[in-house]
Amino acid sequence: MASEVKVPTLGESVSEATVGQWLKQPGEAVALDEPIASLETDKVAVEVPSPVAGVMGQQLVKEGDTVAVGAVIAVIDDAGSGAKAAPAAAPAAAAPVAAAPSVESTTLSPAVRRAVLEHGIDPAKVVGTGKDGRLTKEDVLEAAKKAGEAPAAPVAAPVAATPAAPGRHEERVKMTRLRQTIAKRLKEAQDTAAMLTTFNDVDMGEVMAMRERYRDLFEKKHGVRLGFMSFFTKAVALAARDIPAVNARIDGDEIVYHNYLDVSVAVSAPNGLVVPVVRNADSMGFAEIEKAIADLGKRAKDGTLTMEDMKGGTFTISNGGVFGGLMSTPIINPPQSAVLGLHRIEDRPVVRNGQIVIRPMMYLALSYDHRLIDGREAVTFLKTVKEAIEDPGRLLVDL
């Protein structure tokens, strides 16, 4: 007896998805509710659980196919019949695997598969650190690094025997649904909003000193590290009270003002940049903000963010400094009207009290929709954020 596996409900207004990865192959044992496939929607990856315990049967669609909600994508065979066949097939398959590892037969994401091929790594010999022990790109790169540090061994011969295409070559990889959506939304933002970016720089000395002073006590009490994001989130909340247009949006011929601050935090995920939301950030304390951001960042890396995590958002903070970026012009996240870009901290000479001194400086960039936000408001908002960061006491006394 076989049970059908159908595409689950993916969220409000989401009717289809792309099959990103099969997590189980035909003949493998499957437990009840165990993920057998990963689907990519416009915003997040969604795992499809098995409705029954049994053995993975036929896969009715391929990776990269578009499937609708409710569509049957696979069947799970009854454990009684399929479980006996699976062990018998294992010994026969062992010989060719030992002779030459097959990347195609391993459940790998496109990025991981590409890294495996580029570095000549046997995925079967690498311990995965991803969700449910899956292999990540970082695992492959770490294995390649270790292999490079180790002395050359005879086992490298099979890799050398594999014929390689000489000269220049190209590779075509289909864009993921998430990447297509990112491209579409960013282009729509440029085509719709009258975007403009204003810059300032901020002396990070006081915040860095405060972090150093309270780091251990903060982490001991709250179980999370005190980072820069909580300071900037609180500074944005403070500035948005004086300049509410920055936290508003245009809806037709109306302006919608929010008396709350839901901050979209741009974080890097395996399939691209995502912007989960920290809700009611204006009413949160430093520890609550840090915990919320840490949780969203971890779930983005694990690919476990939900549609609900991505909904809404009234203002975005994007920290390109973690990648070493010195300056950028971030793009608005529609329908929001502004985004604050943070960058790397760099020691630079500045003038203080008539003297040239070296200070840890960071460039700030505020991109905004000029249809709603005037230049004076944008500059005032960014100046308020700068003053709050350079004098963190303002965050405590609401100045």
Domain with residue 68: its CATH number is 2.40.50.100
Alpha helices in the chain (DSSP H): 79-99, 110-119, 137-149, 157-161, 177-192, 205-222, 228-242, 286-302, 307-310, 375-390, 393-397
**From the centroid of its chain, how far is CA 149?**
30
Q: How far is the C-alpha of 189 from the C-alpha of 11, rounded, in Å?
A: 23
Quick one: 215 and 107 in the same domain? no
Q: What is the pLDDT of residues 325-369, one digit of tens each?
A: 899 999 998 899 999 999 999 999 999 999 999 999 999 999 999
Domain containing 313 equals 195-397
Active site residue 374: yes
Active site residue 222: no
Tally of CB atoms within 10 A around 31: 13
Quick one: 143 and 18 in the same domain? no
Domain with residue 286: its CATH number is 3.30.559.10
Single out the catalytic residue among 132, 242, 370, 391: 370
Q: What is the pLDDT of residues 194-211, one digit of tens each?
A: 999 999 999 999 999 999
> Would you call 222 exposed, middle or buried from its count of C-beta atoms within 10 A (0-12, 13-18, 19+)?
middle
∠ Cα 366 371 372 (to 5°): 70
- Residue at token pair 């065979």: 77
Q: How far is the C-alpha of 399 from the C-alpha of 388, rounded, in Å?
A: 8
Residue 155 forms part of a structural domain: yes
Quick one: 289 and 358 in the same domain? yes
Residue 183 forms part of a structural domain: no
- The mean-pLDDT minimum among 55-59, 357-361, 372-376, 377-381 falls in 55-59
Residue 182 forms part of a structural domain: no
* Structure tokens, 391: 């004098």
Alpha helices in 193-265 (DSSP H): 205-222, 228-242
Domain total for the chain?
Answer: 3
**From the centroid of its chain, how far is CA 269?**
2
pTM for this structure?
0.65
Quick one: 277 and 362 in the same domain? yes
Strands 315-319 and 263-269: parallel
Single out the catalytic residue among 216, 242, 374, 391: 374
Rounded to 10 degrees, what is the CA torsion of 292, 314, 305, 67? 180
Quick one: 112 and 62 in the same domain? no
Q: Which of 161, 179, 207 is the last residue of a domain?
A: 161
Q: How confident is the model at residue 90 (pLDDT cuts 50, 70, 90)?
A: very low
Q: How confident is the model at residue 148 (pLDDT cuts 50, 70, 90)?
A: low
Q: How confident is the model at residue 321 (pLDDT cuts 50, 70, 90)?
A: confident
